[in-house]
Amino acid sequence: MGYCTDLYIDVVQRCLADIPPFHGGYFPFAYWGLWAPGPTVRFQSDNSHMVSPRTYREQFLPFDCRVAQAFEYSAMATHTTQAQHWAVYAEIPDLRLIEVSLDLPPFGRPPLDLLPQFRQVQEMGKALLLTGFVTQAELEGLLAELSPTGLAIRVQIRQDDD
């Protein structure tokens, strides 16, 4: 894992060295519509949903910490299937943002069921970006229940299931 981590960091740093700043910063999160004033990385650990939080912490967290530490701005892309890990991800000291792709049921839990975990991420000092599809009622619930500080919501409205 160490070799792969070092290789990933090296490749991203080499790419960033060839990308000129855009308005004094970087736009690597273009899909999310986000800009950052310094070098950035977006990484993910999608398969972590298949291990316990303890196993993730022991076997994978040190490598994700190294990736986040290597860049001024870092974001971790996740899915609702990884909700049990968000608090562990939020322990990564240099991680700035946790993005959550709101997977539609039956693959992911409804967004409003995840409010406690979303709040925990925010309370741990991480910015939170929610992406995907939600109903109008879910969007209104998210806006009403989450702190606007560090919150970005980039969703599309889908029809109610009713």
Domain residue ranges in the chain:
2-157
Q: What is the pTM of this model?
A: 0.93
Residue 103 has pLDDT above 90, yes or no: yes
Domain 2-157, architecture per CATH: 3-Layer(aba) Sandwich (3.40)
Residue 10 backbone zone (phi > 0: left; psi -120 to 50: alpha; other: beta) = alpha
Residue 27 has pLDDT above 90, yes or no: no
Residue that has been written with the tokens 């606007």 in this structure: 148
Residue 152 is predicted with a pLDDT of 96
DSSP code, position 45: -
Confidence band, pLDDT 50/70/90 cuts, at residue 26 = confident
Residue 162 has pLDDT above 60, yes or no: no
CA distance 146 to 162: 25
Residue 30 has pLDDT above 70, yes or no: no
Residues 15-23, mean pLDDT to the nearest whole number: 89
CA distance 148 to 135: 19
> Could you tell me where the DSSP H helices lie in 19-107?
53-59, 61-69, 86-89
Residue 93 is predicted with a pLDDT of 97
Residue 158 has pLDDT above 90, yes or no: yes
31-65 residue pLDDT tens: 787 888 998 999 998 889 899 999 999 999 999 99
